[in-house]
């Protein structure tokens, strides 16, 4: 597997536009298990491989004696990481070559754009997720205390079906995918940031920190403030940095991955205690088109909707029929999350007659979580979103790939 072979193969495919390439490193990755339903992101520490400029690097996979160009992206969040998608179709050991070469600029597969008070993550055909930074007012005649910013809605299926709901008449404070806490002890008071009707506090958008469009993922990072309402003033108790990344293969449009990370940091020298309560954290009020007769819950412990509430889980499938089609979401909790495997808050089947769907990883459902001043705390979740039904075996493979990504081995450097 020599550099000359790589050059010949690349010239045949028409990918090389200049007459030079130099191998930087050879990377090996074992193919994921057959139960994995689609590609997952993998990464390598680029700073350990090279300090060459990003603009002169290209990635190829060696397949049947030919070099196949691979879409990749360089994540600069903490150092430099080389990120690409690994599909399970090819078996055995996969061989990738990082080469010094000036490739054509890869077009974004996922774009991050600003539109009417929101950030849209979309592929070339349709939007997949909208984050709302502008404040949304409640319906006319409803107390303005139910206004909210800093939430995700709509959260779409790959086929464009809305999977979230906001301002439902039974819960005007429900906002799609959003991240407040219900019982928070701060300076001797217990504050409710979740139930806006209590008029004790809220979580609001404060700033956009970054937006990224790219050939492997699109992303945004925002700052939220957890605000305590005082009698004549307001005080920020917690600063939250939320990052959302969507991964999707260029030619596969019926599935995508959304990674959500939440960093919590006390805004003062006072500790913050997230008190034990039946729900709190990243909540998902699902589409009103799902009810007990056309949707289901399956947890990593084999429980269904009747038994899931209060159970501990690494992952949870929420899926069902929608608009003569189907949509499935696998919610996954990362092993380093507080109180992992996390307790679930799942609405019972008889709620509001129809059995509306609500799903929430609630790490404080059965124990307090104390946030000390001067320290940072992080929660990480992955949402695998598909247009077809997902089995428990596939969900387990997806979680394993999330918790223990395929190892990238450096063979030559």
Mean predicted confidence (pLDDT) in 356-363: 98
**φ and ψ at residue 351, rounded to 5 degrees:** -70, 135
Mean predicted confidence (pLDDT) in 200-207: 98
User: Where in the chain are the domains?
Assistant: 3-106, 111-403
Return the pLDDT at 9. Answer: 47
Q: Dig out the tokens for 1 from the structure.
A: 């597997």
E runs forming strands in 248-314: 255-266, 272-274, 283-285, 295-299, 312-313
For the stretch 11-62, pLDDT in tens is 434 444 433 478 999 999 999 999 999 999 999 999 999 999 988 999 999 9
Quote the CA–CA distance of 66 and 385 in Å, as a whole number: 33
Mean predicted confidence (pLDDT) in 91-105: 86
**What is the band of 104 on the pLDDT scale with cuts at 50, 70, 90?**
low
Closest among 122, 79, 69 to 258, alpha carbons compared? 122
The structural architecture, per CATH, of the domain 111-403 is Distorted Sandwich (2.70)
Return the pLDDT at 13. Answer: 43
Considering the four listed CATH numbers 1.20.1070, 1.10.1900, 1.20.1630, 2.60.40, the one that applies to the domain covering 3-106 is 2.60.40
Please, where are the H alpha helices in 24-109?
Answer: 46-49
For the stretch 73-87, pLDDT in tens is 999 988 999 999 999
For the stretch 283-308, pLDDT in tens is 999 999 999 999 999 999 999 999 99
Closest among 371, 353, 399 to 266, alpha carbons compared? 371
**What's the Rg (C-alpha) of the chain?**
23
Return the pLDDT at 1. Answer: 43
Mean predicted confidence (pLDDT) in 355-375: 98
Closest among 183, 203, 143, 383 to 286, alpha carbons compared? 383
Mean predicted confidence (pLDDT) in 302-317: 98
Mean predicted confidence (pLDDT) in 208-213: 98
Return the pLDDT at 103. Answer: 66
Question: How high does pLDDT run on average in the chain?
Answer: 93
Percent of the chain with pLDDT over 90: 88
């Amino acid at each position: 597997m020599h550099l000359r072979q790589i050059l010949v193969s690349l010239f045949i495919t028409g990918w090389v536009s200049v007459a030079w390439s130099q191998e930087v490193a050879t990377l090996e990755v074992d193919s994921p298990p057959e139960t994995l339903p689609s590609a997952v992101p993998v990464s390598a520490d680029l700073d350990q491989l090279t300090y060459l400029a990003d603009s002169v690097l290209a990635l190829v996979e060696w397949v049947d004696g030919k070099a196949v160009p691979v879409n990749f992206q360089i994540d600069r969040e903490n150092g430099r990481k080389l990120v690409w998608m690994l599909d399970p179709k090819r078996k055995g050991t996969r061989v990738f070559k990082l080469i010094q070469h000036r490739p054509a600029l890869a077009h974004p597969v996922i774009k991050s754009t600003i539109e009417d008070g929101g950030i849209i993550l979309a592929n070339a055909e349709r939007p997949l997720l909208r984050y709302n930074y502008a404040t949304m007012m409640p319906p006319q005649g409803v107390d303005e205390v139910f206004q909210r910013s800093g939430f995700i809605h709509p959260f779409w299926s790959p086929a464009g079906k809305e999977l979230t709901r906001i301002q439902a008449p039974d819960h005007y404070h429900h906002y799609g995918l959003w991240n407040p806490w219900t019982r928070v002890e701060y300076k001797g008071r217990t504050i409710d940031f979740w139930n806006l009707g209590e008029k004790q506090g809220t979580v609001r958008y404060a700033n956009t920190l970054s937006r990224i469009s790219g050939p492997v993922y699109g992303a945004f990072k925002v700052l939220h403030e957890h605000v305590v309402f005082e009698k004549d003033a307001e005080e920020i108790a917690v600063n939250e940095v939320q990052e959302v990344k969507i991964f999707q293969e260029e030619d596969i449009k019926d599935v995508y991955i959304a990674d959500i990370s939440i960093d919590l940091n006390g805004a003062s020298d006072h500790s913050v205690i997230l008190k034990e309560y039946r729900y709190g954290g990243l909540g998902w009020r699902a589409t009103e088109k799902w009810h007990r007769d056309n949707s289901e819950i399956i947890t990593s412990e084999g429980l269904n909707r009747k038994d899931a509430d209060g159970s501990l889980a690494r992952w949870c499938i929420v899926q069902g029929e929608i608009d003569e089609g189907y949509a499935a979401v696998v919610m996954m909790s990362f092993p380093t999350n507080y109180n992992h495997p996390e307790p679930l808050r799942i609405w019972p089947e008889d709620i509001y007659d129809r059995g509306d769907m609500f799903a929430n990883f609630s790490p404080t459902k059965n124990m307090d979580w104390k946030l000390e001043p001067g320290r940072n705390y992080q929660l990480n979740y992955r949402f695998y979103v598909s247009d077809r039904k997902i089995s428990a075996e596939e969900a387990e493979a997806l979680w394993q790939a999330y918790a223990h990504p395929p190892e990238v081995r450096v063979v030559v450097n």
